[in-house]
Amino acid sequence: MRLPSLCCAVLTLLISTTTFAQDLMPMAGGNMGNPMPKNVEDNRQVVLLTAEERSIVAAEMRQMLASVQGVTDGLSRGDMQAVIAAASESGMAMMQNLPSPIRMKFPAPFSQMGLATHRAFDQIAQEAKTIKDPAPVLKQLSGGIQNCIACHATYRFASPKSNNGM
């Protein structure tokens, strides 16, 4: 590396670390960000589940998030086998494995959104078997994620005893 370009590199490094340090300054100055807003309300409808039931459903939710990641990662690498594997983890089989006492506690619209989501994952797996272009699969995934968003906006879980979501 010649001297001028070395100087340039050192200067750039200096400037970027200084900018970074400035970003952290407000914290150091005692300003810890925004205060808590007042009157925070969660108006979502409650689905009553015991702690155990909730654990089971939450584990499935985390699996679905992992499937979303696996599908997008597979698509980004053009690895359709990975897409199929990731999507299949969250297909209809997942719903069928859910113990029926839990399923019976779900309100009908909740079950329908769940069904649509699992079906979307199966369709993604099916589509990925024949399609090489990631765009239509991404479109399907995006449609499936709309169910996640809609259901999360409408429902929350709470335990019958405390009723506070814990």
Footprint of ligand HEC (CB under 6 A): 58, 61-62, 64-65, 68, 110, 113-114, 117, 144-145, 147-148, 151-152, 155-157, 165
Query: What's the CA gap between 87 and 82, in Å, rounded?
Result: 8
Among left, alpha and beta (phi > 0; psi -120 to 50; other), residue 50 is beta
Q: Side chain identity at 120, as an amino acid letter?
A: A
Query: What's the CA gap between 109 and 153, in Å, rounded?
Result: 13
Kindly tell me which of 70 and 134 has the beta carbon lying closer to ligand HEC.
70
Residue 22 beta carbon to ligand HEC: minimum distance, rounded to whole angstroms: 35
Kindly tell me which of 14 and 153 has the beta carbon lying closer to ligand HEC.
153
Alpha-carbon separation of residue 97 from 94, 101, 157 (angstroms): 5, 12, 20
Residue 34 beta carbon to ligand HEC: minimum distance, rounded to whole angstroms: 22
Long-range contacts of 64-67 (CB under 8 A, 24+ apart): 64/90, 64/94, 64/117, 64/121, 64/148, 67/121
Kindly tell me which of 26 and 160 has the beta carbon lying closer to ligand HEC.
160
Kindly tell me which of 9 and 65 has the beta carbon lying closer to ligand HEC.
65
Residue 78 beta carbon to ligand HEC: minimum distance, rounded to whole angstroms: 22
The DSSP bridge partners found for residue 158 are 48
Residue 17 beta carbon to ligand HEC: minimum distance, rounded to whole angstroms: 36
Kindly tell me which of 11 and 73 has the beta carbon lying closer to ligand HEC.
73
Residues in the chain: 166
Residue 9 beta carbon to ligand HEC: minimum distance, rounded to whole angstroms: 42
